[in-house]
Amino acid sequence: MASPAVVIFSLVFYSFVAASTVAANFYGDFDITWGDGRGQIVNNGQVLTLSLDKASGSGFQSKNEYLFGKIDMQLKLVPGNSAGTVTAYYLSSKGSTWDEIDFEFLGNLSGDPYILHTNVFSQGKGNREQQFYLWFDPTADFHTYSILWNPQRIIFSVDGTPIREFKNMESKGVPFPKDQPMRIYSSLWNADDWATRGGLVKTDWTKAPFTASYRNFNADACIWSSGSSSCPSNSPPSSTSNNAWFSQELDSPNQERLQWVQKNYMIYNYCADTKRFPQGLPTECNAA
């Protein structure tokens, strides 16, 4: 017979896994928060769609807050002439010193590539943009966009390929998101004052409504509720695959994949923008 301590640990561990890896159902995981019917959950909760027309866009947010986790979502972006539209998918806390981890998909004219815009805010400070083209058409099918967030690093991935890593460099004075629980948000909205070619290309409303689709949400994560985490001491056991994310880092093959993406598909990196930072690049850009 297992000892009482083992039984208690097993129950706690099981509750963490059960709370954080339940198969996705949008009715149970998300609330559509704005758009007056333009956001819809369909296919028995398996698919969520957001739409945008000249009157309004739409958006949703997660019911749960998270403090560390691996978040996966499959998206199929607005097809055709999506110029002027932005599909945002991100984690964010509240308040004036908020934390935020961003994917934003900037639409473009038919035949021109989407721009995947990423950013990391810590204690209300962002300005850490990296932008990428994708190596596929993100409107033709669903693709998986992932955020791995643990106490040591944040890794952005597309279909399992890492595209960006933001490491915890608090030891060098760089704030890192680690104390504020965040919800998942997504929205589809009109940003034709800046989104496409700096605002030169406007939204073509004759193509409306514009629609983005979501499916296969999964969160292996620490759920934050009533001031406490579903993970014991915010440190779930890392000996199982369910919780490997908590101490995960990029191994050599994934370091090579990251370098491949950044060499071939990165189109903007704040750490290379010396004109923007004439007094010197941000600290994290110079850290080893």
- Token couple for 257: 């994949």
**Is-contact 83 202, C-beta < 8 A?**
yes
**Is-contact 91 100, C-beta < 8 A?**
yes
Which H helix or E strand runs over 266? strand 266-269
Residue type, 253: P
CA distance 88 to 84: 13
Question: Which residue in 100, 194, 108, 195 sits closest to 149, CA to CA?
Answer: 100
- Token couple for 21: 């890896």
- Token couple for 143: 């693709």
CA distance 264 to 135: 9
What residues are annotated to the active site?
Answer: 100, 104
Q: Which own/partner pairs from 252-260 qualify as long-range (CB within 8 Å, at least 24 positions apart)? A: 254/162, 257/161, 257/162, 258/161, 258/162, 258/163, 258/164, 258/165
257 Cβ partners below 8 Å, 6+ apart?
161, 162
Q: What is the maximum span of the chain, computed from C-alpha positions, in angstroms? A: 71
Number of H helices, E strands in the chain: 4, 16
CA distance 138 to 141: 6
CA distance 154 to 148: 6
